[in-house]
Amino acid sequence: MHASKANGANASSAAPSSSGAGSDRPASSWSPNSWRTKPCLQQPPWPDPTALDRALTELRSLPPLVTSWEIEALKSQLADAAKGERFLLHGGDCCEQFDECTSSAIAAKLKILLQMSLVLVHGGRRPVIRVGRFAGQYAKPRSSDTESRGDVTLPSYRGDNVNRAEFTAADRTPDPFRLIDGHARSAMTLNFIRALIDGGFADLHHPENWDLEFVKHSPLAADYQKMVEQLGESLRFMETLAGAQVLGTNRVDFYSSHEGLILDYEEALTRTVPHREGFYDLSTHFPWVGYRTVDPDGAHVEFFRGIANPIGVKLGPDMSPESLRRALEALDPKREPGRLVLICRFGAHQVAKSLPPMIDEVGRLGRTAVWVCDPMHGNTETVVPASGAGKGVPVKTRKFAHILAELEQSFEIHRAKGVPLGGVHIELTGEDVTECTGGARGLGDEELARAYRSRVDPRLNYEQSLEMAMLIARRMRGAT
């Protein structure tokens, strides 16, 4: 185990000091590696410090995955979302897998996000910011460091950036060279997405490009088709009026995002760029701090406070107003528009109690942020199917009705408070998996085993995602 990774300083990877783009502390107090002086949760127990240093040295020399101007463009769009002038759609896998870095899986993810965004534009009458939980979502926090099966106890699976899911000692041993594989797969994913978009795949004039195989068989197909036709007509009408193509409709922006969990990795991709001040985490456009690592005195908040990216912060039911205040002060001392995205994950049974005081506290502090509802992480449960292939075997799932209930309550709470709900954060896939129950087809517990593929949290499948977008759009139409 590399002890210094957990909470000590590692002199060999010292980086130059800087003021940190988001910091009001003395100029020398933040650097890309200052997190090493703080308690750091959820880091892999790397067994070989020399191997880790070699992997990180290589990572530091590799090109970044995104650019600072893309990051700044996203930040300015998020500033609009904070005012209710845009809506953030943040979605994708709980945990990407190396073996799903395939053209079909990537295209399916892009398609479902494009389709959902089209539905949301139509319903919400405002531009949608599309951010995928992809091209780097390869590391997971875990509730336990180890997993036991029978007499055997092994390190927990922490995502493909760290180890493999199979339950053998060799597979579960953290391997730092997987960080380099993760960087490469992130680059391949982004490369393919950029090429698809540049080639016109995301052209709003041709949404028929995004039909997934099974859209034809979906109970929602007719509604969706009708909406696409209406949008096409509006687009043609506007272009006839303007006598030209409506700006931006033949191309859409897409941004990437992942939980900034493994700070060795994030630090290695954190760089200065010509003609701009400060440090950018160039591993992704939009990293977020997970709920388990949001301690204001911890290493993650220390790292995030100094990078110039917009950042997400997960808020949950156990967070006190005092730690919220301290985290926000550390992370956004300059109150920069578009800097903070507060991703709330309280659960359908808790949101009415927990969300209003959080909104009040942020208002009392005179802060603005993009408020986002993550209706997934507070609604995870374990069920034991009474029949079907998975009979008697406990399985982690989420009910469509609970996800929707949290979303609907959030819309209502934000409306009552007069503070816009600026977006949604959803775990989903463009494929026909069976991981969450309910939805238009009424997927039951007994069907979960048929196509359960997530190694971590259950995702909405293609149809459930599209249905959710339609229900959100309906709610947005009512709310505006």
Minimal distance, residue 311 CB to ligand PEP, in Å: 13
Among 290, 310, 312, 430, indicate the residue that binds ligand PEP (CB under 6 A).
290
CB of 137 to ligand PEP, least distance (A): 8
Distances (CA, A) of 55 to 21, 299, 316: 27, 21, 34
User: Shortest distance, CB of residue 292 to ligand PEP, whole angstroms?
Assistant: 6
290 binds, among Co ion, ligand PEP, none (CB under 5 to 8 A by kind): ligand PEP
Task: Please say which residue, 31 or 137, places its beta carbon nearer to ligand PEP.
Answer: 137
Q: Residue number with the shortest CB distance to ligand PEP?
A: 290
Measured from the CB atom, the residue of 72 and 147 that comes closer to Co ion is 147
Minimal distance, residue 425 CB to ligand PEP, in Å: 7
Looking at beta carbons only, is 406 or 457 nearer to ligand PEP?
457
Residue 94 or 327: which CB sits closer to ligand PEP? 94
Choose one: 33-41, 147-155, 159-167, 287-295; the region binding ligand PEP (CB under 6 A).
287-295
CB 186 within 8 A of CB 135: yes
Report, in Å, the least distance between residue 140 CB and ligand PEP. Answer: 6
Q: How far apart are CA 480 and CA 467, in angstroms?
A: 20
Is residue 459 a contact point for ligand PEP (CB under 6 A)?
no
Pick one of ligand PEP, Co ion, none as the site partner of residue 232 (Cβ within 5 to 8 A by kind): none
HEC assignment per residue over the chain: CCHHHHHCCCHHHCCCCECCCCCCCCCCCECCCHHHHCCCCCCCCCCCHHHHHHHHHHHHHCCCCCCHHHHHHHHHHHHHHHCCCCEEEEEECCCCCHHHCCHHHHHHHHHHHHHHHHHHHHHHCCCEEEEEECCCCCCCCCCCCEEEECCEEEECCCCCCCCCCCCCHHHHCCCCHHHHHHHHHHHHHHHHHHHHHHCCCCCCCCHHHHCCHHHHHCCCHHHHHHHHHHHHHHHHHHHHHHCCCCCCCCCCCCEEEEECCCHHHHHHCEEECCCCCCEEECCCCEEEECHHHCCCCCHHHHHHHHECCCEEEEECCCCCHHHHHHHHHHHCCCCCCCCEEEEECCCCCCHHHHHHHHHHHHHHCCCCCEEEECCCCCCEEEECCCCCCCCCCCEEEEEHHHHHHHHHHHHHHHHHHCCCEEEEEEEECCCCCCCCEECCCCECHHHHHHHCCCCCCCCECHHHHHHHHHHHHHHHHHHC
| Residue bearing tokens 């494009």 | 114
Beta carbon nearer to ligand PEP, 141 or 333: 141
Should residue 94 be labelled a site residue for ligand PEP when binding is judged by CB under 6 A? yes
Cβ 427 to Co ion, closest distance in Å? 5
Pick between residue 122 and residue 314 the one whose CB is nearest to Co ion: 314
Q: Does 345 bind ligand PEP (CB under 6 A)?
A: yes
Candidates 47, 49, 141, 317; binder of ligand PEP (CB under 6 A) is: 141
Binders of ligand PEP: how many residues, by CB under 6 A? 9
Give CA separation, 405 vs 87, 312, 408, in Å: 19, 23, 5
Binding mask 355-394 for ligand PEP (x = CB under 6 A): ----------------------x-----------------
Interaction mask 402-441, ligand PEP, x per CB under 6 A:
----------------------------------------
**Structure tokens, 84:** 């209710």
399 is a site residue for ligand PEP (CB under 6 A): no
Is the Cβ of residue 35 or residue 346 nearer to ligand PEP in the bound state? 346
Residue 314 binding target from Co ion, ligand PEP, none, CB below 5 to 8 Å by type: ligand PEP
Q: Which is nearer to Co ion, 204 or 351 (CB)?
A: 351
Q: How far is the CB of 182 from Co ion (least distance, A)?
A: 17
Binding site for Co ion (CB under 5 A): 94, 457
Q: Which range of residues in 204-212, 285-293, 323-331, 381-389 is near ligand PEP by CB under 6 A?
A: 285-293
Q: Does 317 bind ligand PEP (CB under 6 A)?
A: no
Task: Read off φ and ψ for residue 259, nearest 5 degrees.
Answer: -70, 125
- What does the binding site for ligand PEP look like in residue numbers (CB under 6 A)? 94, 141, 290-292, 314, 345, 377, 457
